[in-house]
Amino acid sequence: MNKDLRKKISSNLNTIRWVIVLVAMGTSIPSLGQSQVAREYKDIVYARVGGKNLVMDIFIPASPSIPPLLVWVHGGAWRSGTKESVPPAFIGNGFAVASLDFRQSTEAPFPAAVHDIKAAIRFLRAKAQEYGCQGDRIVIGGASSGGHLAALVGVTNGNAKLEGDIGDHIDQSSSVQGIVDFYGASNLLTILNQSTPHGLSVRKPALELFLGTLPENAVELAELASPVTHVDLNDPPLLLIHGDQDPQMPINQAHELEGKYSELNLDVSFDVVHGGFHGGEIFYSGKHLDIMWAFLRRILD
């Protein structure tokens, strides 16, 4: 069996597992009937840093003919995770999806990941016609640490310290037209005080790797890494999705970012997942998935 066939079988099995779980939970799957992928591009090199290829997977749906684009940033406490963790429910539902790998905090501290993600957006904008998606209708989304990175990228278009010079398309914009933040951090200077003991055991070592030290020891750097400090009138619509029982990422992090948007009368929506913890199928199925699709279609149609 060749490598491409093994990958395809593995991908199909992952999707089937999600469907089985959702059906067992009694969850509706409203978009499953129209879920089709016309083309897949795997391990596309979008930039090269320090001798390492930075890669992404791109999924193009069967319709519409030239879809808008969702850029997905995986979670993993900034130090783990891969592009393979894109929720299967996102694939083939009227949006092209680009799922990214980027430098982890174990390889390079902040702002390396942000530089990489912005380079990926510039690449996708430059190559939109080649891959068959819309380069002027891009939304960024992510979960957990990926949600934090997605929000940070989304509210810092043009920030000289965060744009970086990665990739071959510096002439392109890294701006996005919307942000979907699944249970991400927004203020690295308040997160530890808001955390449960379990949360502290996860967040302290993760932040030390991500920033190179704890936030209190590098206030300016922590502010630079905090979406709440960058919100201004130019920022795109934002959807926050967060569980009210999250033991790892305090829901107050989402409230802080919602508050900054509301102060400026910006377009912000907050879907509180009652009984939701830190991740799980509940966030990517049923009414919560419907809320995300409705948000995306509203801001991009």
- Give DSSP secondary structure letters for 161-225: HHH---SS-TTS----SEEEEES----TTTHHHH--HHHHHHHHHHHHHHHSS-GGG-HHHHHHT
Q: What is the pLDDT of residue 35?
A: 54
Instruction: Determine the topology of domain 3-300 in CATH.
Output: Rossmann fold (3.40.50)
- In which band, very low, low, confident or very high, does the pLDDT at 11 lie, cut at 50, 70 and 90? very low
- In which band, very low, low, confident or very high, does the pLDDT at 24 lie, cut at 50, 70 and 90? very low
- In which band, very low, low, confident or very high, does the pLDDT at 27 lie, cut at 50, 70 and 90? very low
- Give DSSP secondary structure letters for 26-86: T---TTGGG--EEEEEEEEEEEEETTEEEEEEEEEESSSSS--EEEEE--STTTS--GGGS
Domain ranges of the chain: 3-300
Q: What is the pLDDT of residue 198?
A: 82
Q: What is the pLDDT of residue 199?
A: 79
pLDDT higher than 80, residue 28? no
- Taking the C-alpha atoms of residue 271 and residue 183, their distance in angstroms, rounded to an integer, is 10
Mean pLDDT (the chain) is 90
pLDDT higher than 90, residue 267? yes
Q: Is the pTM of this model over 0.85?
A: yes
Classified as helix, coil or strand, 250 is coil
- φ, ψ of residue 279 in degrees (nearest 5): 90, -175
